[in-house]
Amino acid sequence: MLRQTGALAWRSVVTTLRIPQAWFPSLFFPLALLAIFTASFSNAPGRVPGFPPVRGFLDFAVAGSVLQGVLIAGTGAGAAFAADMETGFFDRLVASPVSRWAILTGRLGASVAQGVVQGLLFLGIAVAFGARVEGGLAGLLILALFAALLAAAIGGIGVILALRTGSGEAVQGTFPLFFVLLFFSSAFFPRETMTGWYKTIADANPISHIVEGMHAQVIDGGQTRTTLVGLAFALGFAVLSVGVSAITYRRRLATQGA
Amino acid sequence: MAHAIEATGLEREFKGGIKAVAGVDLQVSEGEIFGFLGPNGAGKSTIVRILTTLLRPTGGTAKVAGHDVVREAPAVRRRIGVALQDAAIDPFMTGRELLHLQSVLHGISRHDGRARAQALLEQVELTDAADRRVGTYSGGMRRRLDLALSLVHEPVVLFLDEPTTGLDPHSRLTVWNEVRRLNRELGTTVFLTTQYLEEADQLAGRIAIIDSGRIVARGTPAELKASVGEPALTVTLAQPEQRESAEAALAQLGAALPGSSRTVGIRMPAGAAGLAPAVRALDEAGIAVAKLDLAEPSLDDVFLANTGRSLHGDDEDDASS
């Protein structure tokens, strides 16, 4: 099963790399947004009331970009899974003696690999432009772990949507929803700067807690508690989403008879 | 002889009570090429999906290569090769990469997988295109690659769902030759669905005709043709005034069929074997013959006789092409 998972994950990565439309947006949009935000809000830290002490806005926003890239990659994984069902590739797999689970773990594994590589790339670019990861190497590893968990979580949601709708377009169509969730969180602005109903949503949004755990590693390096809370949310999210995707997947195979 | 495929009372009912398969019995012997002939929507693909463990039957049982398709699905999957109707091929990978991937999925070692891929690429005449992305392949090349993919693990039973639908003549011949070679050299049992009478006639030792989820006729192509009628001989006369003496000369050989002013027709139960006596009789009567036609009933006639419809009657694409 491991060899099959590896082979299928490799195939997912290769096909993603060969479709520029599949990886370009997940690299380009977060970076573009990061550049725009950093240019526009470079003065926000220190001036906006409530903005916590931070060296620069770039340090603050990079975690949100990593998250954003993972969101795009994860919906892409879901869309690719749907495409496999639509083209019949899925049928070919199911009709061969492939472990049922390798089909799912192969796809999610590729999504995790993409999330981690992309996350580290974003951090690298941010560092090149003057950001500093205060958590050091350990901080980087923790951020990579965040990216991996989130990639699994979002990939899982993508797979659930793919299994439910059977259409890659439908999966892609849910993407703006994730984006709204991202913006109604503390990904790009600290909750301290928010007021009213916006703050209420951001407080309730699990993404806020996840992204704050990531912020802690970039900005502060300490704040073990915030980091752990963030990791716990990310882990819970991943377990829930992968778990539900596994159940949905098994049910789908059962009704088909495979 | 053992059965490679054995189905009893197979049924599949979809939501809304539509029975795509309504009680199908099948016995396919080991080493046989079995043709499953029927129009679009007759239930061919549904049966293939059940036999290849992709779809659970709602009634009846089926065994493939000695294993139950529901209870022993993994054992079935190890022994079958499947090339489904929509060639399920990743356009962004090369033919060789897909063959390697398929080898890994079947648990074949890397080294053996590479050798196997090369051999299969040669068999289906794709060596030149092996390292190109599948997206650049023609429909026929994809179908040939699809066939190669289904053969990676040397299956005992091969399922081909409309393997040549929409193919150019060259690709169709390549597929046919490969199917014959597999059957002859490796003894692979082949279960083939098709809308083409010619394909069933060319490849299959035995045929079942399916319509609306039920098998309406089965047998060898010759048996099926014989069941709908005898071959007919039509003689076109060089001199129409000899019509009456021609009729008299042929009368002893078979029942007369309606002809035109220049032709005389008789039934010829013996088929081609009856030709020589007919020619002799005509010669002895001194009749000048312009043309002789021996028409065998086609599988299309068989289909028409069993379903009351022509196989491609309501298919405009086929009618116009």
- What's the pLDDT at B91? 81
Q: Ranked by mean pLDDT, which of A135-139, B75-79, B260-264 comes out on top?
A: B75-79
Give tens-digit pLDDT for B176-226.
Answer: 998 999 899 889 999 999 888 888 888 999 999 988 888 988 998 888 888
Supply the mean pLDDT for chain B.
85
Q: Is the pLDDT of residue A46 over 70?
A: no
Q: How many inter-chain contacts (A to B, CB under 8 Å) are there?
A: 83
Among the partner-chain residues B57, B74, B92, the one whose CB lies closest to the CB of A97 is B74
- What's the pLDDT at B320? 32
Task: Return d(Cα A117, Cα A113) in angstroms, integer.
Answer: 6
Q: Is the pLDDT of residue A217 over 70?
A: yes
Closest-CA distance, A190 to chain B, in angstroms, reads 42
Q: Is the pLDDT of residue B64 over 90?
A: yes
- Is A92 part of the contact surface with chain B (CB cutoff 8 Å)? yes
Give tens-digit pLDDT for B277-320.
Answer: 888 888 888 888 888 888 877 777 787 777 777 766 444 343 33
Q: Is the pLDDT of residue B258 over 80?
A: no
Q: Where are the alpha helices (DSSP H) in chain B?
A: 44-51, 73-79, 95-105, 110-123, 139-149, 169-181, 197-203, 221-228, 243-251, 275-284, 299-307, 316-320
Q: Which two tokens stand for residue B181?
A: 């070679």
Radius of gyration of chain B (CA): 24
Q: What is the ipTM metric for this complex?
A: 0.77
CA A127 from chain centre, in angstroms, equals: 20
Instruction: Considering only residues A127 and B97, tell me which one the structure prediction assigns the higher pLDDT.
Output: B97
Burial degree of B185 (CB within 10 A; 0-12, 13-18, 19+): exposed
Task: Return d(Cα A75, Cα A89) in angstroms, integer.
Answer: 19
Q: What spatial distance separates the first Cα and last Cα of chain B, rounded to whole Å?
A: 42
Among the partner-chain residues B74, B88, B90, the one whose CB lies closest to the CB of A15 is B90
Q: Is the pLDDT of residue B32 over 90?
A: yes
Residues 14-53 (A) with a CB less than 8 A from some CB of B: 14-15, 18-19
**What is the β-pairing status of strands B189-194 and B18-29?**
unpaired
Among the partner-chain residues A7, A88, A257, the one whose CB lies closest to the CB of B53 is A257
- What's the pLDDT at A53? 63
Q: Is the pLDDT of residue B240 over 70?
A: yes
Q: Do A19 and B92 touch (CB under 8 A)?
A: yes
Give tens-digit pLDDT for A129-185.
Answer: 877 777 788 888 888 898 999 999 999 999 999 988 888 888 888 878 877 888 888
Q: Is the pLDDT of residue A48 over 70?
A: no
Interface test with B, best of A4, A11, A90 (most B CBs within 10 A): A11
Contacts of B107 in chain A (CB under 8 A): 3, 97
Q: Is the pLDDT of residue B20 over 80?
A: yes
Q: Which of A237, A208, A47 is nearest to A199 (CA)?
A: A208
Q: Is the pLDDT of residue B257 over 80?
A: no
- What's the pLDDT at B116? 92
Q: Is the pLDDT of residue B70 over 80?
A: yes
- What's the pLDDT at A152? 92
Closest-CA distance, B52 to chain A, in angstroms, reads 6
Q: Is the pLDDT of residue B272 over 50?
A: yes
Task: Return d(Cα B9, Cα B22) in angstroms, integer.
Answer: 8
Give tens-digit pLDDT for A79-124.
Answer: 888 888 888 888 888 888 888 888 899 999 998 998 888 888 888 8
**E strand segments, chain A:** none
By CA distance, what is B75's nearest residue in A? A97
Q: Is the pLDDT of residue B321 over 50?
A: no
Q: Is the pLDDT of residue A254 over 80?
A: no
Q: Do B86 and A88 touch (CB under 8 A)?
A: yes
Mean pLDDT of B158-173: 87
- What's the pLDDT at B319? 33
- What's the pLDDT at A256? 64
| Numbered residues of chain B with Cβ closer than 8 Å to any chain A Cβ | 50, 52-57, 70, 73-74, 77-78, 80, 82, 84, 86-90, 92-93, 97, 101-102, 104-107, 133, 149, 153
Radius of gyration of chain A (CA): 19
- Is A93 part of the contact surface with chain B (CB cutoff 8 Å)? yes
